[in-house]
Amino acid sequence: MQEKLNSSILKILAYFDLFQYPLSAEEIQKFLDQKAGAAQLSATLDWLVLQRLIFPHGDWYSLRSDSRIMEERRLKNDQAKPMLALARRISGFLFHFPFVRGIGISGSLSKNCADSNTDIDFFIITRKNRLWIGRTIMHFFKKLTFLTGHQHWYCMNYYIDESALCIEEKNIFTAVELATLLPVQGKPVLDQFFKSNNWIMSYFPNQPERTAITVQHPGLLSLKKMIEYLFNNMLGDWLDNYLMRLTTRRWKLKEDQFELNIKGNRMGLRTGKHYSKPNPVFFQERILSLHRIRFIELQEKLQAVLRLNKDQPFFLKEII
C-alpha cells in the first residue's frame, strides 16, 4: 500500500516535470491516482525527500534539485494573474458569437501558469449540429486579430458540440486538462460537460466535484439569437456540413505538407461532425510517451531505494 503511494506521487510529479512545474502537497493530493489523507501524504513526501527521489522547494516539490524552479513557478503564477483577468473578459465577448453555449479557459493558463509566450487557449462548446458554422465565424474574427497582433489572445483550438460532451481520449493528459479547465461562460452546458466526464475520477479520485460558477453577459445576445434563427433550417444543416468538409480538406493539406506553427510545432486538426480538436498525435502522444519513459525510470530508482533499505524497515514504519 505504501509503495503504491510512493509510485503515485512520483507518477504525477513526473508528469508536471515535463513542463518544469513543481507542485504543492495539496496539488499532489488532488492528482494522486489513489485516495490518501493529508497526514499520510506528508509523511510519504518526507520519506521521498529523505531518499532524494524528490526535492522540496519552499511550499512545492519537484523531481529537480535546482532551486530556480521555485522562482520560475512564482514568476509564472504572477504573470498568469493579469492574463487570467483578460481571458475572462475575452470569454464574455466570445460568448456573444452564434451557437456558442459554453467556454472554458484551457492550456497552461488554466494551471495558473504564464510567461511572455503564453497563448490564451479557449475550450468551446457549441449548439448541436452547428459547430462548424460557429467555429468558422469565430475564426474569421480571429483572422482580423492578426492585424493588431492580438491573435495569441484568441486561441480557440478545441471545439465540441452539445451532443459530444464526453471526451473520447481517456488518459492522464486529457484527465489533467479536464481537471484544470476553468469554466467561464455557459453554466448549464458546462455542468453537463463535467458530469459527462466524471471518468477522470478513476485517474484522480481526490478531485473535488466540478461545477461551473460562471457569469453570462447578455449585451449582444439579441443579435446572436437572430443569426442563429437564420440558420435554424435545412440551409444551416447544409452549410455546417459544407464548412466541416472544407476545413477538413484544408487541414489535411497542412498535415501532408508538414506545416509548422509559429512555435515550431507541427500543425494538425482532428475533425468530425461534433468536434474539432488538435490532432493528438502531434503533442498529446508525445507528452504521454515522454511521461511513460520518465515514470519507468523513477520506478526503477524507487525499487533500488527500497531494496537498499530492506534491512532498515524504520524508514517505512515512520510513514505507515
| Residues 256-286 pLDDT 10s | 777 766 666 777 889 999 999 998 877 899 9
Q: Which among 291, 289, 271 has a CA at the least distance from the CA of 279?
A: 271
Work out the burial of residue 131: count CB atoms within 10 Å of its CB; fewer than 13 is exposed, 13-18 middle, 19 or more buried. Answer: buried
Residue 305 CA to residue 320 CA, distance in Å, equals 17
Q: Which domains does the chain show, CATH number per domain?
A: 2-66+286-317 (1.10.10), 79-282 (3.30.460.10)
Q: Which among 36, 37, 11 has a CA at the least distance from the CA of 23?
A: 11
- Given a contact cutoff of 8 angstroms between Cβ atoms, the answer to whether 35 and 205 are in contact is yes
- Given a contact cutoff of 8 angstroms between Cβ atoms, the answer to whether 180 and 110 are in contact is yes
List the grid coordinates of 187: 453554466
pLDDT of 46 strictly over 90: yes
pLDDT category at 169 given cuts 50, 70, 90 is: very high
- Given a contact cutoff of 8 angstroms between Cβ atoms, the answer to whether 47 and 61 are in contact is no
pLDDT category at 314 given cuts 50, 70, 90 is: very low
Residue 211 has a pLDDT of: 78
Residue 227 has a pLDDT of: 93
pLDDT of 316 strictly over 50: no
How does strand 275-278 pair with strand 155-161?
Answer: antiparallel
Mean pLDDT of 53-74: 94
H-helix or E-strand containing 13?
helix 2-17
Residue 116 has a pLDDT of: 86
* DSSP class of 164: -
Mean pLDDT of 49-55: 96
Phi, psi of 311 (to 5 degrees): -95, 5
Residue 311 has a pLDDT of: 56
Lowest average pLDDT, out of 262-276, 284-298, 305-319, goes to: 305-319
For 172-229, write each residue's pLDDT tens digit: 999 999 999 999 999 999 999 999 999 999 999 999 888 776 655 555 578 899 999 9
Q: Which among 190, 199, 145, 212 has a CA at the least distance from the CA of 170?
A: 199
